[in-house]
Amino acid sequence: MKIYPLLTAGLVCSLVACGGGSSGSGNQSSSVVSSSVVSVASSQPSSVVVSSSSSVIVEPSSSSQSSDVVSSVESSSSESSVAESSESSVAESSESSQGGTESSASSESSSEASSSVAESSVSSSEQSSAESSESSSSETSSEASSSAEALNWNVYSADYHPATNGSVTLAGGEIAEFTAGGNGDYFVDQFDGTVVLDTSSVGTDTTSATFYNVVNAEGVYPKYFTLVAGVKGNADSLRVLELEVAMADEAQIGSRLKAILRNDGSNKGVQLETANNGSSVNSYNVNDMDKFAIYQIAITLTSSTNGSVNVYRNGVLMPGLSLDNVTMRATSAASDNFVRFGEVSGSAAYKSTVDWVIWTNQAAYSPLALDGLLPAGLGCVYGYGSSDQLETCENPPVSGGSSSSSGGANSSAASSIDHGTAEIRPAKIEGFAAYANVTGGAGGPVITVTTGTELNAALCGVRNGNRTAPVIIMVDGTINHSNTTSQGCDTQNDVIEIKNTSNISIIGVGTNALFDEIGIHVRSASNIIIQNVHIRNVKKSGSPTSNGGDAIGMETNVDRVWIDHNWLEASGGEKDGYDSLLDMKAGVTNVTVSYNIFNDSSRAGLIGSSDSDNKNNNITFHHNWYRNIEQRTPLIRHSLVHIYNNYWSTENRSAMIHGINSRMNAKALVESNYFYNVNNPLLASNDSKVAGCWQTNNDNTLVNHIYSRSVTNGALVIPEIIDGQMQSTCEVTVPYTVDMDPAVNVPAIVMTNAGVGIISTEVGSSSSSSSSSSVSSQTSSSGTSSSSPSAGTGVLVNEEFGVDKATLFSATYKAISTDSSAALYFVTGGNSGITVVNDQLSIVGGRFTIGHRPPRTATTASDLSANGDFDLTSPYRISFTVVSASGAGKVQVYVDNNTTSQGNSLHSNDSKVYEVVANTLTAGQVVEITPSSIGTSTSFIAIRAESSATIVIDDLKLEYID
């Protein structure tokens, strides 16, 4: 073991002023170790620091545990001065000589994540060489931060109620959930990436979330555990949250630690209940326990009864509480082995907002050891190597637009909509709209408008009265009643009327297109696209009124429409003056509704306005988010409707009437959807005399659902549920195929991608109205042979990423021409930041080479040859398609250089043949690189995304130019 003595409170007080304070412990027997308040550094907020003089931070160094990350980070601090931007030569450090897991961890801390490709079949000699070169390179420490590969975090991001299936992502990538406990459930999912715990009104009731089997239970000591949680307290003088860890062996009593975050009375801080030889220990006088903060607990258990504990707050390097080799509290029962949060005891009220909780059993880490190494996508990680500001952590920026909705009976602060953690996808037309070849205004002029009057003019006057001439209208402003007047061609003052016309795209610019209290009506029109617009609070009664109270209404001979990536919302139901968000009636056909948010309305929409309305058909709904909608999601009469990969969530299940209502001869194909907290997710209501029917695919997820209706009590038919799956009542088919996501992934995908401001709306990109209409399923492609064609002819690489990552980086897939055991593709840094998803390659702070032959040592300026697989002495082109890109970091392409310094190549600084800031790339853009005279007869290429860059690519090619 490596032991790092802590600064004692007395030593710290000799450097900065310390103040005394009082303490309290409620009903617990408590011993206050110290009550000194210490400001550790001017860059950190004030924090209570309490420790015994003999406390230690224990970090394991054996090969069976994670390496000494503290040591690695400290030793890398001087190396990080080798700035990447200067493109200086790769620093030759001595870290690679440390060997074993310590060398690998050093690479994690001082460079991109270790190049070990666990998924690939790379030989051990190649692996050792790659690790050595990675250790010697001066990648910035932040590149490792995107992966934190060596730490193996288990993550609860509070995107869902903790007991929801899939709420926890385990270190190995598997999904799981907490087990609910207590005598009540007082966790409330806020649907914005946080969960609220509030027991303030329920007396002695308790509620908790427990995850079992978190440490080795086979008698192995020492045991280690690190838990980090982002939690906001309360301003109501209540306790905040309990965090508990139990670490017992199988059938044995072990030790546990309960940390109570408190803001009740004078007890403001952290209490470790009966943690030190039967006495409680606390660090009170923390005056901002009502604010957001990050709490870290590090435990080293040296036996079943003894251990050491350090508790930190907001990444401050000194622990606020420290126990050194004390007799710890015994577990309540044999075999207790869990991590738990909530209110475990019921003698006091608790109230908090949980943003995220993560844990690992690899080591008892200090904040310094975790600097830059928390998992990506958590949210605010102030104090751990991020640029987050503590004052902004309480209200993180909202992705996908904002709302100033004034609320109402159903309103739930629509402005707090969060967009999950999945990858951003470019817009793609699927379903019946694709099948009918919807193109909108593709090929027509592009007109940008900022008012309703200008929009009406674009629909009519600018087209010179030709109602079939294609036009793309970009909306870059707020459309409302005060700036909308009729401009002829059936346009109106109180609604955006698309009537007796065709071939139109209305597309919002960024998040700027807001239709405020004014709706869009489509009548006797065809080939229409409405994309990336926000429509809110359209009323049919009250003032002002528009469009019969529908955000979007379509009726009478409407054909071939794509409604995509919009945000449709109201602030209540019919009694508040609203009707529906999207209605189709009296002859609407061949429509796809995709990636839209419908929220805070009584009704989402219907297909068919009455039992006699049988002219509507061929409608697709996919990847939509129905949030706090009471009914009609959708209501269907007579029509064939395909409903897949949609997400339903509601805060008040009892107020919900139904989800999908397939009635009056309707046929619904219901596949791979996710229903959370929903009442009557699928039924045929008895509001029609004849039922509709449905076919399901046994991959619809139901979480916390109920059926308040039954046959003869509000329903003609409800589905039989077997093994959690709603059963089919008829056969339903559609004439196309689609790329369907598993239901369990739908919430994250939909929350990330639905709504406005997500996609690129630059005309000509794959997200605009000229999107491809292909609907066939993607097929895998193995690409071309790995053997090189003769110089000057043919394609060297043609990669469509139709395999998983392990296969892609294996020699069995594609091999070096001179060594069948060496993979053509080889990761040189940021391994865990490189993934293959949906037949596309994602790179986040990582890099890899193509065609670099073993032993793949780090290239230098003194190299005489490149040792590559490709003859690049003839003109050639490197190209790829950008699926998505974000971040201020750069995307780079090198020739004959496997480092991050452009000078480390026989081509010197010319080895970097392409560099661009990631967020300047657009979805659908094809990047083509034609280096001039850069290459040899034995060359290779390398592709890299810096730590603050994310790029997803497809169709990677290396080919000769004719």
Which residues are part of the catalytic machinery? Answer: 632
d(CA 31, CA 431): 67
- Kind and range of the H or E run holding 682: strand 682-685
d(CA 18, CA 286): 14
Residues facing 722 on adjacent strands: 725
d(CA 461, CA 333): 79
Q: Give the up-direction half-sphere exposure of residue 386: CA atoms within 13 A in the CB hemisphere.
A: 22
Q: Which amino acid is at 438?
A: V
Is the separation of the CB atoms in 109 and 875 below 8 Å?
Answer: no
Q: Quick one: tokens of 777?
A: 């399923």
- Kind and range of the H or E run holding 301: strand 292-301
Angle at 259 between CA 254 and CA 261, to 5 degrees: 165
E-assigned strands of 19-75? 37-38, 47-48, 56-59
Phi-psi region at 703: left, alpha or beta (left = phi > 0; alpha = psi -120 to 50)? beta
- Cα–chain-centroid distance for residue 695? 31
E-assigned strands of 769-875? 795-799, 815-816, 819-823, 825-829, 834-837, 840-844, 847-850
Angle at 802 between CA 799 and CA 805, to 5 degrees: 90
- Kind and range of the H or E run holding 223: strand 223-232
Buried b (16+ CB within 10 A) or exposed e, 505-536: bbbbbebbbbbbbbbbbbbbbbbbbbbbbbbb
Task: State the DSSP code for 378.
Answer: -
**Would you tell me how many other CB atoms lie within 10 Å of the CB of residue 933?**
9
First to last CA, the chain: 62
Q: Quick one: tokens of 409?
A: 């009976």
d(CA 561, CA 619): 10
d(CA 670, CA 679): 17
Q: Quick one: tokens of 148?
A: 């934190």
Residues 6 or more apart whose Cβ sits within 8 Å of residue 920? none
Contacts within 8 Å (CB) and 24+ apart, 84-89: 84/138, 84/139, 84/140, 84/900, 84/946, 87/901, 87/902, 87/903, 87/909, 87/912, 88/138, 88/901, 88/903, 89/860, 89/861, 89/901, 89/903, 89/904
Q: Quick one: tokens of 20?
A: 């005394």
Reference 650, options 715, 705, 590, 721; nearest CA is: 705
Is residue 539 exposed (0-12), middle (13-18) or buried (19+ Cβ within 10 Å)? Answer: buried
Q: Which amino acid is at 651?
A: E
Contacts within 8 Å (CB) and 24+ apart, 765-768: 765/426, 765/922, 765/923, 765/924, 765/925, 766/426, 766/427, 766/428, 766/923, 766/924, 767/426, 767/427, 767/531, 767/923, 767/924, 768/427, 768/442, 768/472, 768/505, 768/507, 768/531
Q: What is the DSSP string of 434-466?
A: HHTT--TTTTS-EEEESSHHHHHHHHTGGGTT-
Q: Quick one: tokens of 877?
A: 């082109």
d(CA 293, CA 240): 11
Q: What is the DSSP string of 577-643?
A: TB-BSEEEESSEEEEEEES-EEEEEEE--EE-SSTT----EEEEEES-EEEEEEE-SSEEES-EEEE
